[in-house]
Every structure is written in structure tokens, then in C-alpha cells.
């Protein structure tokens, strides 16, 4: 229902930085909760970060706090994930997701099944 196109993945050395972008369709993008998730080979998909529609509430996984920053530009229908001080354990496919629920429930923001649209994923590899 919402088409998401990701970009910005690549290969970096430990301590390096990358910025991921996710461009979304939809005339009501400003009302969507947007999230980033990641999945390493052989591992379950896990929550990374999320932002409410206005950017007023931000959520991070403990493993990325202080290193990653989620932001959005509603005029461009785009959400970003700035990743600094990258570690080998950050290596994964990163997915952008949109939640179009009418009512925002904070306890649901980290749950995979709360999101109804997903991007194709972009590979991030951090070499040691």
C-alpha cells in the first residue's frame, strides 16, 4: 500500500559511517510512523529505530543508542538513518517500514507486525 525505496547501503570499515535513505509514496506520509529494522544472516529480524509522523517521538534499540540517528523530511517523503561508529555486529540487511495505523500505540512501535509496508532491504557490511 506504501511503496518504499531504500538506498545508501555499502561496505565500510569499523568506525566508519553510512547514511541510509528511504523514499516513500503516499500523500499522508507525515502521518505514518516510520521504522528501521535489520536482519543478519541466520538471525531474526530486529528493531533498530522509529519515528512518529512529526518526528516528535523517537525510539532506538539499546544496541544503537548514541551511534545511530533517525530523522525524516516530510516535504520529501523520506526517512533517514545516519549510522556512525559502525561495528562488525551492525552487518545486516536493513529494512525500512511504514505503519499507517490510525491510532499510535507506543508499545507497538518495536513490533514487526505493526508495520504494513516494507522496503526491499539494503545491505550494510562492516569489515573488521
Other C-beta atoms within 10 Å of 115: how many?
Answer: 23
pLDDT, residue 26, reads 87
End-to-end CA distance of the chain: 39
Using CB atoms within 10 Å of the CB of residue 61, give its burial: 0 to 12 exposed, 13 to 18 middle, 19+ buried: middle
Residues 50, 59: Cα–Cα separation, whole Å: 5
Going by the DSSP 8-state scheme, the letter that residue 65 receives in this structure is T
Ramachandran bin of 26, using left for φ above 0, alpha for ψ from -120 to 50, beta for the remaining angles: left
The strand pairing partners of 39, in sequence order, are 93
What is the percent of the chain with per-residue pLDDT over 70, rounded to a whole number?
A: 100
Query: What CA–CA distance (Å, rounded) separates 88 from 30?
Result: 33
Q: What is the pLDDT of residue 127?
A: 97
Among 85, 94, 84, which Cα is nearest to 121's?
Answer: 94
- Average confidence (pLDDT) over 43-64: 97
User: Residue 74's pLDDT is what?
Assistant: 97
pLDDT at 6: 96
**pLDDT at site 1:** 78
Q: Tens of pLDDT along 69-122?
A: 999 999 999 999 999 999 999 999 999 999 999 899 999 999 999 999 999 999
For the chain, how many residues are written?
128
**The residue to which cell 540487511 is assigned:** 93
Amino acid at each position: 500500500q506504501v511503496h518504499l525505496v531504500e538506498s545508501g547501503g555499502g561496505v565500510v570499515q569499523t568506525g566508519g559511517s553510512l547514511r541510509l535513505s528511504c523514499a516513500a509514496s503516499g500523500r499522508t506520509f507525515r502521518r505514518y510512523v516510520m521504522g528501521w529494522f535489520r536482519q543478519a544472516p541466520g538471525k531474526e529480524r530486529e528493531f533498530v529505530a522509529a519515528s512518529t509522523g512529526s518526528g516528535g517521538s523517537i525510539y532506538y534499540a539499546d544496541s544503537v543508542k548514541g551511534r545511530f540517528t533517525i530523522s525524516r523530511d516530510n516535504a520529501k517523503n523520506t526517512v533517514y538513518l545516519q549510522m556512525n561508529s559502525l561495528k562488525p555486529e551492525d552487518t545486516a540487511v536493513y529494512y525500512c517500514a511504514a505503519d499507517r495505523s490510525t491510532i499510535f500505540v507506543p508499545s507497538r512501535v518495536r513490533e514487526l507486525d505493526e508495520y504494513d509496508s516494507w522496503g526491499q532491504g539494503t545491505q550494510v557490511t562492516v569489515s573488521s
